[in-house]
Amino acid sequence: MSSPGTVKKSEIFNKPGADATFKSSDGVLFALHKKNLETHAKGFPPADINVGAEIIDLSEESETLNLLFQFVYPDDDIPDLSDVSFTFLMKLACASEKYVMHSAIPLCKMRMLFFVRSYYSSGTSENNISKRENLKLIVGHALEHSGYTKILDEAVPLLAVSEPLETTLLLFPAMRQLSWALYREQWAVVQRYASPYLSEHKASCSKCKSSSDDFGMIYFNDFKLRLLNNTSCSGLDYHWKMKVSKSIEAIRKLSSFFEQSIQQPFEDSIHVIFNPPLIVRY
């Protein structure tokens, strides 16, 4: 805690009758009501604890606190996060979890899910490294806090197919690393079965032959992330596409590995899809 000095006061949070004062990491004072904090943010001291005239130092910057503290006064307009940048969103999401700001957490999750889905809809070309880095931050946040299962399951496929195991394994706590390895192996199995045809196709397709891309990875990603919506080469075999699609549908979500073990070897089921048993009719 620190004593009041010559510092800047927040223009928004200089409330009449305020009985709790906080200072941001960049030296801005925020005067709020302890009762509101107790009601809407469980991470702050209860209203019956007397902190006197002392100023409580917080590690967040004033920009983050200016938005975060708006959730303490729900009678005012709830903040709109639709234009919030990814970097700022992650700062707000971390602060919301830290101070248990229940009304802010769901909105942060919605915005986070928006970013996840936008990364997938825009494809998987090599210039999207920053998007994959952002996905790693989202995955790390989701693993650290409860209630992020949906976001986690939607965020990890791109990392599973485009990032080496060694660059993603440390995102997970020790107790989850085996689950991640097993989940990621599912994608590796599908790719092993899908790749031979891709190599043959590239050798015979003039459009794909002239491409400098890593054909197997780029097109394999497209089939997953674009959900086979014909954005890939039109010359690719329809039946092969359907086998890939069916294989992807068989992939278990990451969160399911947290709850139970595999009942059937995944590769066995994919082998049957790509090599269906011969049906003899009499």
Instruction: Summarize pLDDT for 58-116 with one digit per residue, the tens.
Output: 999 999 999 999 999 877 678 889 999 999 999 999 999 999 999 999 999 999 999 99
Pick from 235, 245, 238, 243: which is nearest to 215 by CA? 235
Residue 229 has pLDDT above 50, yes or no: no
**Angle at the Cα of 104 from the Cα atoms of 100 and 105, rounded to 5 degrees:** 65
User: Do residues 100 and 41 touch, judged by C-beta distance below 8 A?
Assistant: yes
Q: What is the pLDDT of residue 224?
A: 47
- pLDDT for 66: 94
For residue 118, name the pLDDT band (cuts at 50, 70, 90): confident
Q: How far apart are CA 145 and CA 165, in angstroms?
A: 23
pLDDT of residue 195: 75
Say what the pLDDT of residue 277 is. 62
For residue 150, what pLDDT is reported? 96
Among the residue ranges 2-11, 79-88, 160-169, the one predicted with the least confidence is 2-11
CA 214, 220, 225, 226 torsion: positive or negative? positive
> Is the predicted pLDDT of residue 221 greater than 60, yes or no?
no
Residue-level pLDDT at 163: 85
pLDDT value for 199: 72
Instruction: Write down the pLDDT at residue 17.
Output: 86
Contact assessment for residue 274 and residue 189, using Cβ atoms and an 8 Å cutoff: no
Mean pLDDT of the region 132-160: 94
Instruction: Write down the pTM of the prediction.
Output: 0.80
Average pLDDT over residues 30-39: 90
pLDDT at 235 over 70: no
The per-residue pLDDT for 129 is 75
Kind of pairing between the strands at 28-32 and 8-14: parallel
Per the DSSP assignment, residues forming a β-bridge with 55 are 2, 21
Q: What pLDDT does 239 receive?
A: 76
Distance CA 22, CA 95 (A): 14
In angstroms, rounded to a whole number, what is the distance separating the alpha carbons of residues 145 and 106? 13
Distances (CA, A) of 116 to 94, 250, 277: 17, 22, 38
Token couple for 277: 């048993």
pLDDT at 148 over 80: yes
Mean per-residue pLDDT of the chain: 80
